[in-house]
Structures are given as structure tokens and as C-alpha cells.
Amino acid sequence: MSFLELPLELRLIIYEYAAVEGAAVTIGACELTGTGPDLVHRQYGDKRAPLPGLPPLHEPVILEGYSSRLLSISDPARIDVSSAPRPQDYLGETHHSTLSSLFLLNHQVHAELSTHFRVKNNRKTSLFIQFPLGLHVFKTKCPDFFRQARSIHIAGSYPKSVTAEQPLHLEQLAHLVSATLGKAPRYPIEKLEARIYFPGNDSYPRVWDDSSPASVILRNVCGGFIDMEVARGRHGTGIYVSVRPHPEHKRVISTVWRRLVEGDSGQPDCGDWAVDKQWPEWNTEFTPSSPLP
């Protein structure tokens, strides 16, 4: 007996088990390096095309599991296409949502999932999203990961100069926050974390600009325990925003300031602060950063 000959009720149970993702998924984009012909083949060979919205010579990466390298600012992940000719050869096999793959199987499965299937509220997956390019990859390549997300963790850098894509990335961040922690969220989660680094010794005022990621998060959280840490240093500023749902949809905000030590001899590299050393482990409650010397 083939799978499609099974009773619909049994197929729906199988769909439910198949749709549950792993404990962590990391989403971002990598710069491509290598020789000219290899770069062209990587992006356009076998009827491929670059993902619109990414910078030139960048490729979306969706990984099952946690990858601090994909989130790194100081040592960003790159793909040498001359030594890694196939996309799945880098950082482990490229992972796509099981649910989105099921939708693509055939018309009957697509119709059954669309009409009868509802993912139960047994969210177990933590999403680790590179800022800002990972937001674009998430929105365009795997938005159905919302259905399995228990928590969302964002890490990255906010550039000094305004880019053409910046409004789009901030709009995607606003959508993510409102969908998970807004008024009557469609995909409620247990916790949102964002660790954003602002490079430059004059970066502190930019943290509080109306268009900064911190301001976008605050505007789109309708109720929650909002804990913020601001780390100020000689070479840059980091802001850590932690948001947990409030049972009465109230906004409770606390902010602390810390010193950021980085960039000089014997100190962490600039931007290392953005990737939490505890990840992929995290606590439902707010956990302050360890005080710096």
C-alpha cells in the first residue's frame, strides 16, 4: 500500500510528526569567494539564480543546528566555491523546512495540508537569525519556520552608513516582532533576543534613532517583559534586547548600562559581543550578561 492510499486521518498524523523540526536552525547569508568561472557557475549553473535582495556574490544558508560562524561579525562565514562546488558541502547540509518540502510533493498532499492540517502548539525549535541578511532569507525562503519556533535569537551588526536595503530589513524585523510579540500574535513565542552591534566610537546615539533595530523592536512589542542592556566601548556600542510575553499584555521595561571591552591587544575582537557565548543554550527568563572587568 502506498502512502497516498492510507486513510486521510492516518496521513495527517504522519504529517504532524514529519513537520516537527530540530532543536535549532540557523539562518543567514554567506559571501562567495573563488575564481570567476566557479562563482558564475555557483550562482547561475543548473538553472540557479541569486536570491533578489542579497548583496552581489552572497548566497542564502539555512542550516539544521546552531552555527555561531554564520552569525559572526568579526569572522563572518564565507564559501570558497572553488573548493566547495555544491551548496550543501558548506557548514553541513543545507536544510529547508520539512513542512515547505511537503507542500511541494504533489497536488494531493498540498491540498490536504492546506485544507485539513494544523500544526499543534508543540513548538520546539529555536531560530538563530543573522542580522540583517538572515531576516531577508527567513522572510523569502522559510517563513513557515514561524510555525515551529519556540524562541528567536537575532545577532548582527548595524552599519554606519544607510544602505538601499536598510528600510526593507527593518520592515522585515518589524513583521517578525509583531507576528510573535505584537497584539494577538499569530505565532506566539517564549522569548525573543536581539544582540545588535553598532560599530564606531560615535555609535551610541544611533542606538536610539527611530530607525534603529532597538527602536523597531520596542515599537512593535505590544506587551511583554522587555530587558535591555547597553554595552558602550571605545570601538562600538552593543544593545541586547530580551523580550518575554507578559500574561496581562503589559509593558515592563528595564535597562542597564555596561562597559564593552574589545578591539585592543588581549581583548575580544570588535563585534564578538553580538554572538552570545551561551548559545544555543538559553533561559526562558532574562539572564544578564556577565559584568566586564
Per-residue pLDDT tens over the stretch 240-260:
999 999 998 899 999 999 999
Bridge-based pairing state of the strands 251-259 and 236-244: unpaired
- How far apart are the C-alpha atoms of 96 and 21, rounded to whole Å? 10
pLDDT digits (tens, 9 = 90+) for 54-86: 999 999 998 888 999 999 999 999 989 888 655
Question: b/e string for 204-214 if b means 16 or more Cβ within 10 A?
Answer: eebbeeeebbb
- CA separation for the pair 171, 105 (Å, rounded): 32
In this prediction, residues 9-37 reach a mean pLDDT of 81
Would you place residue 11 in the very low, low, confident or very high pLDDT band (cuts 50, 70, 90)?
confident
- pLDDT recorded at residue 143: 87
Give the Cα separation of 79 and 33 in Å (integer): 6
∠ Cα 147 148 153 (to 5°): 105
Q: How far lies 107's CA from each of 4, 10, 112, 119, in Å?
A: 12, 18, 9, 19
pTM here is 0.84
For residues 236 and 263, give the distance between their C-alpha atoms in angstroms, rounded to a whole number: 9
CA-only gyration radius of the chain, Å: 20
Residue 82 in contact with residue 41, Cβ under 8 Å?
no
Digit-coded pLDDT (tens) for 80-117: 988 865 544 333 334 455 666 676 677 787 777 767 66
Residues 168, 170: Cα–Cα separation, whole Å: 5
The residue type at 79: I
**Residue range 201-230, pLDDT digits in tens:** 999 999 999 989 999 999 999 989 999 999
Query: Could you give the count of Cα atoms lying within 13 Å of 25 in the half-sphere of its Cβ?
Result: 28
- Which pLDDT score is estimated for 91? 38
Q: Could you tell me the residue ranges of all domains in the chain?
A: 3-220
Report the DSSP pairing between strands 191-199 and 236-244: antiparallel
- pLDDT digits over 129-182, tens only? 999 999 999 999 888 888 889 999 999 999 887 777 788 999 999 999 999 999
The mean pLDDT of the chain is: 85
First to last CA, the chain: 66
**Residue 181: DSSP 8-state:** H
Report residue 246 CA to chain centroid gap: 23
Residue 167, Ramachandran bin (φ over 0: left; ψ between -120 and 50: alpha; else beta): alpha
